[in-house]
Amino acid sequence: MSVDVISSQGEPILQLKEIRKSFDRHGARLERSMVLKDVECFIHRAEVVGLIGGSGTGKSTLARLIMGLERQDCGSILFEGRDLEQVTARERQAMRRFMQMVFQDPYDSLAQGLTVEEIVAEPLIIHRIHRYDRKKRRELVEDALAEVALAPSSLFINRYPHELSGGQRQRVALARALILRPRLIIADEPTSMLDVSLRLELIDLMKRLRERHGIAYLYITHDLALAHRFCDRLLVLSEGRIVEQGLANEVIERPRHPYTRALMQAAMRFMPAIQSSNPVELTAK
């Protein structure tokens, strides 16, 4: 069954209902600024949904809420139909295994004192999988490294992050996410620290993993050319609200909301032909 068919079927893998989130304003504990305002969206299995919007519009906050790194003021987050706040802590932990995150900065997100093998195996330890079987963990690490084309794995498993290139580090971060066989990956600007050709490589790798394993992605980016290349659908976030959503081609080629049009115009200044067969950086900041 093709990914297109998979993604259009059944209940969403992730559903957000009326999510609100506010933070204390700097130095004014009684004053709150509302960062997310009634956000509603969904992602189907094996679907790639891009989240675009200017700086400070709330994209990373939304990712952090989904991953349970922050808590929403109100609203619900449903993973495979189950509200993450209505299950026991144990069930939530079990569900979290199937949603993983890849961060923007591979220099920051990988523990510097650990080897690649230890970094990639860490989620197994956290989730108590093959806890007492180092050999099995090693096999799974090798498989995960092969998935992200870090081969032969013997070249990489004993290295430390500072001994890897930026592109290799981001592949290690992806292998770490993949080792638990996730159904959803939240990728928060995973390509922004990489140069243009490495960005394309990483996106094409994530696409292949989607085809192979039916992984859904929420892909947060400022790079509209990559969003065009990778995403099935786009959500446009402006000042904490989703102001437009639709098929990626349609949103990029025929934006309807004035904010989306402004984003596209800003992006066009960097790249006159958005449908170029060789996309280069197109920044929505």
Give residues in contact with ligand ATP (CB under 6 A): 23, 35, 53, 55-61
Q: What sign for the dihedral angle of Cα 43, 60, 84, 203?
A: positive
Nearer to ligand ATP, 35 or 120 (CB): 35
Least distance CB 238 / ligand ATP (angstroms):
10
Q: Do strands 74-79 and 82-83 pair parallel, antiparallel, or not at all (unpaired)? A: antiparallel
Q: Provide Rg for the chain, Cα atoms.
A: 19
Whole-angstrom Cα distance, residue 201 to residue 194? Answer: 10
Crossing angle of helices 166-178 and 116-126, in 10° steps, is 20
Q: How far is the CB of 120 from ligand ATP (least distance, A)?
A: 26
Residue where the block lists tokens 């498993």: 157
Based on CB atoms, which residue is closest to ligand ATP, 177 or 235?
235
Whole-number minimum distance, CB 33 to ligand ATP, in Å? 7
Q: State the nearest-atom distance from the C-beta of 221 to ligand ATP, in Å.
A: 9
Q: Which is nearer to ligand ATP, 60 or 153 (CB)?
A: 60
| CB nearer ligand ATP, residue 178 or residue 224 | 224
Tokens of 12: 């969403």
Q: Which is nearer to ligand ATP, 53 or 161 (CB)?
A: 53
Minimum distance from CB of 117 to ligand ATP (Å)? 31
Task: Between 27 and 113, name the residue whose CB sits nearer to ligand ATP.
Answer: 27
C-alpha 233/C-alpha 6 separation (Å) is 14
Question: 23 forms bridges with which residues in the sheet?
Answer: 33
Residues 124 and 130: beta-carbon distance below 8 Å: yes
Q: How far is the CB of 204 from ligand ATP (least distance, A)?
A: 23
Residue with tokens 């159904």: 183
For residues 25 and 31, is the Cβ–Cβ distance under 8 A?
Answer: yes
Whole-angstrom Cα distance, residue 150 to residue 98? 23
CB 22, min distance to ligand ATP, A:
9
In this structure, are residues 12 and 43 in contact, taking their beta carbons and an 8 Å threshold?
A: yes
Q: Compare residues 137 and 222 and give the one whose CB is closer to ligand ATP.
A: 222
End-to-end Cα distance, the chain: 38
Least distance CB 28 / ligand ATP (angstroms) = 11
Nearer to ligand ATP, 58 or 190 (CB): 58
Residue 213 CB neighbours (<10 A): 13
